[in-house]
Structure 1
Amino acid sequence: MPKVGNYVQRDYNTRSNRKSTWSDYNKAWASKRSNAINKSQQLRNIANSFAVISTQASRSATSLVLQNQNSGSPYASNTAVMSRINVLV
């Protein structure tokens, strides 16, 4: 059947020997649901990876600032150092 845009043109003059059944309908939707579940799982894995990377980056930035605090840092205390670190989770 030719497809034009989003509409599938149907040939109503021919008869099909195969009838659609509820089991065909259920199988089609089951495959769509399983594909959607797989895609959402992949998105969750990617989001988790970004969260882990950002957490590790903020920890390393914090430790770098704290290590450099005693070597002639312009900050007065640890509280001043920690107030300069913007942690977004």
Structure 2
Amino acid sequence: MAKVGNYVQRDYHNRFRSKQKKTWSDYNKSWSQRRQASAAKAQQLRNVAASFTTISVQASQANTSFVMQNQGTLGTYASQTAALSRYNFLA
């Protein structure tokens, strides 16, 4: 008899009764597979989030570097230290 979700479906008819008896190990295996699938999906989401964070940081660094290179002078920044403090050194 097939499992529906985490519930072992009962068969009340003798004619169609399953030959194999369901046990707690079947139930535990089902939950184990579900937990593994959930953990894999969560890991994929973490990888995507890390990729977006990396892309965002690199884009911010490139933009700051581009502005500093093309500004000529320090402009609105009071000093070179203030200008460099805007640059994100996470990489």
Question: 1:68 pairs with 64, 67, 70, which one?
Answer: 70
Q: Deviations over 1:38-63 (max 9, x none)?
A: 11001101110110011000100001
Structure 1: unaligned runs, 5 residues or longer: 2-8
Matched to 1:49, the amino acid is S
| 1:39 pairs with 2:80 | no
Separation in 1 of the partners of 2:12 and 2:20?
14
Question: 2:61 pairs with 50, 56, 59, which one?
Answer: 59
For normalisation by structure 2, the TM-score amounts to: 0.66
Separation in 2 of the partners of 1:63 and 1:76?
14
Separation in 2 of the partners of 1:61 and 1:21?
61
For normalisation by structure 1, the TM-score amounts to: 0.67
Separation in 1 of the partners of 2:31 and 2:11?
24
Q: Once superposed, what is the RMSD of the aligned Cα atoms? A: 2.7
Structure 2: unaligned runs, 5 residues or longer: 2-8, 87-91
* 1:68 aligned counterpart, secondary structure: helix
* 1:16 aligned counterpart, secondary structure: coil
> Alignment length, in residue pairs?
72
